[in-house]
Structure 1
Amino acid sequence: MNFSKKQNVKRLALAGIAIALASTINAQTPEDKGLEIAKAAEQADLGFNSSTVELKMTLKNKNGQTSERSLTTKTLELTEDGDKSLIVFNSPKDVKGTSTLTFTHKEGPDDQWLYLPSIKRVKRISSNNKSGPFVGSEFAYEDLSSQEVEKYSYKFIEEKDGLLIVEQDPVDPKSGYTRRLVSYNKDKGYRIEKVEFYDRKNALLKTLTYLDYKLYKGKFWRASVFNMVNHQSNKETRLDFNDYNFDVNLTEDDFNQVSLKRAGN
């Protein structure tokens, strides 16, 4: 075989590989693509270790009347299982000291506890109550869990206005949702811009919008505002976050029932 023939054979072989790769990419199912996007989002946020943040919660009822609460949130990143978080209410007086501890799990139901300072007692949140409102807000207890890939099945829906829309169906049969539609910003570290929640009757229940993102440590995107609108009750809950602190070096000792009680006193 002469040199020119060898080149032609090589070109044909490379062309065949390119066609095979293109076919593989084109053959990617919506489920595979949805899972791939969720994994990319998870990967983009790995490595923050722990953080604390102060925030203001504004509750708006269906008549437009508002009330405010101040909170502190601590988060511990775990890679072998889901993250741990501790939320403490600082004001007003009627909720001051109320605290919630969440152990998110990649598989199986999450563990959650609520400390009520008025009775100085820790109450475990049962799996049947995860869809209930978190301290009178439009956030449910299950909304407090970290975004673990294993908690959902996925289906890519479409790309719209630069956002990747992925349907996520909860694996937990006791979830209050049949599905969520999540909008990822692929150009900004796959950060989430919006989540639409559908109830057990598959009707649109709530929309959570993430606003005013800031980039921390050159890698970690965090929204300064979470705005949750309940379309069925016409109520809203807005969370305004102050600057995150990623230099607190929290450990698992900061996330147990002892620390839960201590935070509330």
Structure 2
Amino acid sequence: MKYAVTLSVLTALLVAGPADGQNTDAADIARQAERIATYQGDDGRARVAMEIIDKQGRTRMRNVTILRKDDLANNVETGDQRFFVYFHAPSDVRDTVFMVWKRQVSDDDRWLYLPALDLVRRIAAGDERSSFVGSDFYYEDVSGRSAEEDTHLLQDTTDTYFVLKSAPKDPSQVEFAYFVSYIHKESYLPVQIEYYQSDGTKYREYTAEAVETIQGYPTVTRATMKDVLDGGQTTLTYSQIEYDIGLSEDIFTERYLRNPPRQYLGED
């Protein structure tokens, strides 16, 4: 497998990993990978440049800010999260907002605010595996997929990776038959995920192309999702990443869809 992370990034991954012995239980590895990928700090903020290249090679750009807050009960994380994605550019999507309440024991709630129509649209659970604003990422990719939604098999262990094969517990809710994840053994960060159809055809591929340690957390700073069948791809480049900034829960409510918290968006 080709691994595009540079030597400096690999060094960052190695020094950021857990000091204790490594876990070889597939389900536990998947849970740890989910935690590392989506639960860094109690909250976070990042600016994201999205480059969408279609199969004809035409390029579109999007510029967004992502805010995230983990839910706590008695100062203990519940596993639930809230996401607020604000679109800065281009002008035709400016002020569009995508919001998610991610839940561990029930369906996630998702909203999309369309400023041109002044319309808040609820996104049905069945639409979470559809394209996010015309990109090669899906709505579910933005907030992350719960490890509890799949069964996991440790398919291989290399010097660098745990290789997991994961299949959905409810195949009717997803378009893939299974996916294969390459999880860095030291950091537990998923660095490549390959999605397969029932006939064994690979049709999507996620790659973490750059990683940095930010505030002590291994953090993906550039990632690409490829449509293997038609040749399109979307690359996300992250900047201005911060953790534990003290975001209020009020931000992640419907009233902020129309009045976004500009002090956290770099527009105050």
TM-score bucket (shorter structure): 0.7 to 0.9
Query: Which structure features the higher share of helix residues?
Result: 1
What is the CA–CA distance in structure 2 between the aligned matches of 1:232 and 1:195, rounded to whole Å?
Answer: 15
Cα offset, 1:199, TM superposition: 4.1
User: Structure 1 length as normaliser, TM-score?
Assistant: 0.81
Give the 3 Å change call, closer, same or farther, for CA 147–48 of structure 1 in structure 2: farther
Where 1:150 maps in the other structure, the secondary structure is: helix
The one of the two structures with greater contact order (alpha-carbon pairs below 8 A, sep at least 6) is 2
RMSD: 2.2
What is the CA–CA distance in structure 1 between the aligned matches of 2:198 and 2:91, rounded to whole Å?
Answer: 35
Matching residue of 2:220: 223
Where 1:40 maps in the other structure, the secondary structure is: helix
Q: How many residues align?
A: 233
What is the CA–CA distance in structure 2 between the aligned matches of 1:170 and 1:261, rounded to whole Å?
Answer: 36
Cα offset, 1:47, TM superposition: 5.8
* 1:236 lines up with 2:207 in the alignment: no
Matching residue of 1:89: 87
What is the CA–CA distance in structure 2 between the aligned matches of 1:261 and 1:168, rounded to whole Å?
Answer: 38
What is the CA–CA distance in structure 2 between the aligned matches of 1:264 and 1:229, rounded to whole Å?
Answer: 32
Q: C-alpha offsets along residues 22-51 of structure 1, whole Å, 9 cap, x if unaligned?
A: xxxxxx9xxx82112123335557560001
Matching residue of 1:17: none
User: Structure 2 length as normaliser, TM-score?
Assistant: 0.80
Alignment of 1:92-171 (within 5 A): 92-171=90-169
Cα offset, 1:152, TM superposition: 2.0
Give the 3 Å change call, closer, same or farther, for CA 114–202 of structure 1 in structure 2: farther
Give the 3 Å change call, closer, same or farther, for CA 234–174 of structure 1 in structure 2: same
Unaligned runs of 5+ in 1: 1-27
Indicate the structure (1 or 2) with the bigger Cα radius of gyration: 1
Alignment of 1:1-265 (within 5 A): 33-42=25-34, 48-78=41-71, 79-172=77-170, 173-187=172-186, 189-199=187-197, 203-218=201-216, 220-263=217-260
Query: Which structure features the higher share of strand residues?
Result: 2
Give the 3 Å change call, closer, same or farther, for CA 258–232 of structure 1 in structure 2: same
Give the 3 Å change call, closer, same or farther, for CA 256–171 of structure 1 in structure 2: farther
Unaligned runs of 5+ in 2: 1-22, 72-76, 263-268
Residue identity over aligned pairs, in percent, reads 23
- Report if the CA contact (8 A) 1:58-1:237 is conserved: yes
Give the 3 Å change call, closer, same or farther, for CA 168–130 of structure 1 in structure 2: same
